[in-house]
Chains A and B, each alone.
Chain A
Amino acid sequence: GAGVSQTPSNKVTEKGKYVELRCDPISGHTALYWYRQSLGQGPEFLIYFQGTGAADDSGLPNDRFFAVRPEGSVSTLKIQRTERGDSAVYLCASSLGRTRVNNEQFFGPGTRLTVL
């Protein structure tokens, strides 16, 4: 595709439910990133994949959050037992290259998650 795509664009769920957010990176980009952006704030790093493996998951807030990228392309961010504080826009980005340094990240439009 032409850019990073994310689905769904909006997700409303109830507290305690499980959600999955999907990211389709730019074709050929080996690196993939997930960020969380609260209203009026800049994005906060969650996890970084290089290929199929999570190279850095230090930003995941707790063990309710998990992400996979089984074939090195599409990634899914999974949130268990959602809480109201999880409400945010979840952004995905991808970049070409095997390191994060000096590689431009291209962002998707985000998934707006609302936990009622």
Chain B
Amino acid sequence: KNQVEQSPQSLIILEGKNCTLQCNYTVSPFSNLRWYKQDTGRGPVSLTIMTFSENTKSNGRYTATLDADTKQSSLHITASQLSDSASYICVVSETGNTGKLIFGQGTTLQVKP
């Protein structure tokens, strides 16, 4: 069973519009939650990292939220650009000595002009 579930699986929006991607996880306890952006044919690039005590973190037009009680996170993209077209992956880090990263399957976002 995947411990990190993302929705939607894919999304198409028009340039300039906002969108929100969802992440539900069952990893517990966890150390931090990360959102990565992965362009086609490239490795993932970190957007935000939040510890369990943080509720929100922004990086430019990207804003991530975290509700550790309900084990949910979201990534909100404001005023989308064509370059936002990519896969967005939610990643939860186990706590303790392992610190292993558990990856979601990603949401593929396509921004159209």
Instruction: Write the nearest CB–CB distance from B46 to chain A, whole angstroms.
Output: 6
Identify A101's interface contact among B4, B46, B99, B106, CB under 8 A: B99
Can you list 27 A-B pairs, Cβ within 8 angstroms, ordered by A? A4-B43, A35-B103, A41-B106, A42-B104, A42-B106, A43-B89, A43-B103, A45-B100, A45-B101, A56-B100, A91-B43, A100-B93, A100-B99, A100-B101, A101-B31, A101-B95, A101-B96, A102-B31, A102-B51, A102-B93, A102-B99, A104-B46, A105-B46, A106-B46, A109-B41, A109-B43, A110-B42
A45 to B93, CA, bound (A): 12
B35-62 interface mask toward A, CB cutoff 8 Å, 1 = contact, 0 = none?
Answer: 0000001111110010100000000000
Q: Tell whether B98 is near chain A: CB-to-CB under 8 Å.
A: yes
Q: Taking beta carbons and an 8 Å cutoff, which residues of B are in contact with A?
A: 4, 31-32, 41-46, 49, 51, 89, 91, 93, 95-101, 103-106
A107 to B37, CA, bound (A): 11
A56 to B31, CA, bound (A): 18
Give residues 55-86 of A contacting B (CB, 8 Å): 56
CB pair B46 A41 closer than 8 Å: no
Identify A102's interface contact among B4, B32, B104, CB under 8 A: B32
- CB-CB < 8 A to B32: which residues of A? 101-102
Closest to A103 in B: B99
Closest to A33 in B: B101
- A-side interface size class: 20 to 34
Closest to A97 in B: B99
Q: Tell whether A93 is near chain B: CB-to-CB under 8 Å.
A: yes
A104 to B41, CA, bound (A): 21
A41 to B4, CA, bound (A): 12
CB pair A101 B42 closer than 8 Å: no
Instruction: Write the nearest CB–CB distance from B21 to chain A, whole angstroms.
Output: 13
